[in-house]
Amino acid sequence: MRTLLGRLILAATMFAVFAGAAAWAADVNDLLFEGADHHFRGLVDQAIVKFQEALRLDPENEYAHNQLGILYAKKERYDDAFREFSKVVEIDGRNTFAHLWLGILYLRKNDLDRGFTKFNEVIALDPGNADAYYFIGAIYNIRHNPVKAIEYLKKARDADSEEAETHYRLGTAFSNLDMVHNALLEYDRTMALKPTHTKAMNDMGWILYNQGKVDEAVDEWKKVLETNPKDRDAQSNLAKAYGDMALKLQSEGKTKEAVRYWKQMLSVQPGNKAAVYYLKKYQ
Amino acid sequence: MDRRTFLHLLGKGALVSSVAGLFPDLLFGQSAFDLGLQGQELIQNGEYAKAVEVLQKAVAMDPSSDWAYGLLGRAYRGLGKTAEAVDAFRQALRINPEDTYSRWMVEMMTQKPIPKLPKKEKPRSPLELQAEEEEKRVLGRLASKESLEYQVKRVVVDAGHGGFDSGAVGLSGLKEKDVTLELATRLHRRLEAGGRVKSFLTRTGDYYIPLSDRTAVANQYQADLFISIHINANENRKANGSETYYCAEKASNQEAARVAEFENSVLKFDEEFKKEEGFISIEEILFHFEQRMYWKESGSFAGRFQEKFKTDLPFRSRGVNSANFFVLRRAKMPSILLETGFISNPEDESKLKTPAFLDRVADSVFRGIA
């Protein structure tokens, strides 16, 4: 009798444990799914609530901590974000996503050395991590060390060739070394992935301009203004190109033609002092 | 029932049995949808290898089906083939960026290292072939250390004012625009002769260039350092000395703040990376990091130049000042503005007329870079 009762209790307990575990798993996964959905839809506060609830059921859920980290960063609660990512690293030191974000948050705090170290830690854990290579390449780019930037950005590109920013930064590094074919290739790739990448168009324009392909350069910058009429770089670039042409014509005594370019300069940069002055003088 | 609910229920397997019950023939049909349902059932039964086989046929038949790719991802995941699973989920996301389940899976699975899939080789374009050739020719000759030290290989030297804008004018008629051009040209020649640094001038003659065009030149040549040369002036003829300005978030003193406010008043701030609530951009973080690094570096350069002026030039050091100059802020490199002497001071003015003295100033700036 005691044995039967014992078996029944055991069976009931086992059922409760398994049913509970199944319900728990379903609840956590539902919460994670809903949190991810809210997050994607930009419902930051609602997503935070879902992931916090998930963590009450499963305090060591790395995904929930990581998502909360990003959501807190979006709310500019950077210390809380840092705490969440640090927690993930504590739970599992191999979570490269959390390491990466810690590195990004170090950069946000202007801590170059710690950021750099973090990204290297990610590479040590995952030698195929495109993001870590990208950040190290970007850091070298920012330190104007194009040789090292190229080395790392190429690794980022080879690990994941679908990131427009990787191609763009690689383009700027090549351009910094006057490797124009490579620079143009990477800018082309940037725009194939993101046709509205105005920075790539602006930089590409300068390569063409420096090669003497002034009309092509001007077309490139005009394209930028079609994408974003307020793009200050494109406005300055066009103004510079028109100004150069106007000054050249002026020095050759071709005032009439020069006036045409001063007018164009003024159209892209209303109030441009040089254009205003010369138009007043020659018109 | 909307599509999302349908897919969600399908994801939970709730629909399979009912669909199978109602339309048993569908399971044995050959459309991509039928194969998808079949794959779904195989996943439910834990028969992942078979599911992969069926679902691969489904995606081959309908490559635009995010649903079939999502299922394929699940089947691969069941087999423990993480890289293939992530690849399939990513494809589902490319087709339908709103596919929460696939995104969730990608985010979860890529938190930790995953193996890489072999790449497919594609034929090279003419530009790719030219790039390869260029890389072999150029990159192999270049080496660089792991150091994070800021590197200066290209300098843009800007002669302040020009053309109709004379800048300040001295008692004897010496014009700031002429002195700045003389100094800039001498520095440019010195840098070119040094061979280590490439130099570019914003102007080579007596013509006016607007401020924005000057930083455009710096961007044109991807400069590592932008140096704008000016000569100071003051109503007090006794005022003298050299000072260096650089761009920073906060002004170093009230006078610097006033100067920056005046400079900025004519310009509108750009809209780039305007803060949106509930949005974070890695590129925005990098952009601000880059700016702050350049400002910090500008401060170091400014200090270095001012130290050189102290020892090399017969000027009183008026120190280093910083302010948030909009025009300098847009430069994609450290940028500084030098004020070497006062043209309004008769003693300084006579020095600034002497070629030997101008060489001395250019040498001092050169040593600040080198």
Q: For tokens 């050759």, name the residue.
A: A252
Which chain A residues are closer than 8 Å to B139 by Cβ? 147, 150, 177, 179
Q: How confident is the model at residue B145 (pLDDT cuts 50, 70, 90)?
A: confident
> Is A73 part of a structural domain of the chain?
yes
Identify the closest residue of chain A to B268 by CA–CA distance.
Answer: A232
Alpha carbon B165 to chain centroid, angstroms: 33
Cβ distance B113 to A247 less than 8 Å, yes or no, reads no
Q: Please say whether the beta carbons of B159 and B223 come within 8 A.
A: no
B158 CB burial (10 A radius; 0-12, 13-18, 19+)? buried
Alpha carbon B310 to chain centroid, angstroms: 35
The interface predicted TM-score of the complex, written ipTM, equals 0.85
Give the pLDDT score at B2.
Answer: 38
Nearest to A114 by CA among A104, A106, A126, A105: A106
Measured between alpha carbons, how far is B195 from B53 in angstroms, rounded to an integer?
A: 64
User: Model confidence over B167-182: pLDDT tens digits?
Assistant: 999 999 999 999 999 9
Give the pLDDT score at A144.
Answer: 95
Which pairing describes strands B198-201 and B242-247: parallel, antiparallel, or unpaired? unpaired
Q: Which of A26-30, A153-157, B36-40, B143-147 has the lowest mean pLDDT?
A: B143-147
A270 CB burial (10 A radius; 0-12, 13-18, 19+)? exposed
Q: Please say whether the beta carbons of B32 and B42 come within 8 A.
A: no
> Is A150 part of a structural domain of the chain?
no
Interface size A-B, in CB pairs within 8 Å, comes to: 175
Say which of B154, B165, B290 has its CB closest to residue A142: B290
Give the pLDDT score at B259.
Answer: 58
pLDDT averaged over every residue in chain A: 91
Give the pLDDT score at B279.
Answer: 72
Q: Please say whether the beta carbons of A109 and A121 come within 8 A.
A: no
Nearest to A146 by CA among A171, A163, A127: A171
Pull the structure tokens for residue B133.
């050739």
Residue B1 has pLDDT above 80, yes or no: no
Which residue of A182, A227, A277 is the best one to mutate when testing the B interface, meaning the one whose CB has the most B CBs within 10 A?
A: A182
Which residue of B110, B165, B282, B283 is the best one to mutate when testing the A interface, meaning the one whose CB has the most A CBs within 10 A?
A: B282
> B144 vs chain A: nearest CA distance in angstroms?
6
Contacts of B20 (CB under 8 A, 6+ apart): B26, B27, B37, B41
Identify the closest residue of chain A to B217 by CA–CA distance.
Answer: A240
A215 CB burial (10 A radius; 0-12, 13-18, 19+)? exposed
Which residue of B96, B100, B141 is the best one to mutate when testing the A interface, meaning the one whose CB has the most A CBs within 10 A?
A: B100
Q: Rounded to 5 degrees, what are φ and ψ at B341?
A: 90, 170
Give the pLDDT score at B23.
Answer: 46
Give the pLDDT score at A23.
Answer: 53
The 3-state DSSP class for residue B155 equals: strand
Q: Please say whether the beta carbons of A94 and A114 come within 8 A.
A: no
Q: What is the DSSP letter of B346?
A: H
Cβ distance B220 to A210 less than 8 Å, yes or no, reads yes
Which chain A residues are closer than 8 Å to B134 by Cβ? 179-182
Bridge partners of residue B230, in order along the sequence: B339
Cβ distance A112 to B290 less than 8 Å, yes or no, reads no
User: Model confidence over A121-161: pLDDT tens digits?
Assistant: 999 999 999 999 999 999 999 999 999 999 999 999 999 88
Q: How confident is the model at residue B119 (pLDDT cuts 50, 70, 90)?
A: confident
Mean local confidence (pLDDT), A248-256: 94
Q: Which of A23-32, A214-223, B77-86, B117-126 has the lowest mean pLDDT?
A: A23-32
User: Model confidence over B219-260: pLDDT tens digits?
Assistant: 899 999 999 999 999 889 999 999 998 887 777 777 677 656
Give the pLDDT score at A26.
Answer: 59
> Is A34 part of a structural domain of the chain?
yes
Q: For tokens 């455009």, name the residue.
A: B216
3-state secondary structure A129-190: CHHHHHHHHHHHHHCCCHHHHHHHHHHHHHHCCCCHHHHHHHHHHHHHCCCHHHHHHHHHHH
> Is A230 part of a structural domain of the chain?
no
Ordered structural domains, chain B, with CATH? 3-109 (1.25.40.10), 148-369 (3.40.630.40)
Give the pLDDT score at B143.
Answer: 77
Alpha carbon B21 to chain centroid, angstroms: 58
Q: What is the total count of domains within chain A? A: 1
Residue B211 has pLDDT above 90, yes or no: no
> Is A6 part of a structural domain of the chain?
no
Residue B25 has pLDDT above 50, yes or no: no
Pull the structure tokens for residue B290.
């880059």
Give the pLDDT score at B118.
Answer: 83
Measured between alpha carbons, how far is B54 from B308 in angstroms, rounded to an integer?
A: 75
**Residue A54's CATH number:** 1.25.40.10
Domain with A44, as residue range(s), is 25-112
Residue A22 has pLDDT above 70, yes or no: no
> Is A90 part of a structural domain of the chain?
yes
User: Model confidence over A219-243: pLDDT tens digits?
Assistant: 999 999 999 999 989 999 999 999 9
> A53 vs chain B: nearest CA distance in angstroms?
17
Q: What is the DSSP letter of B162?
A: B
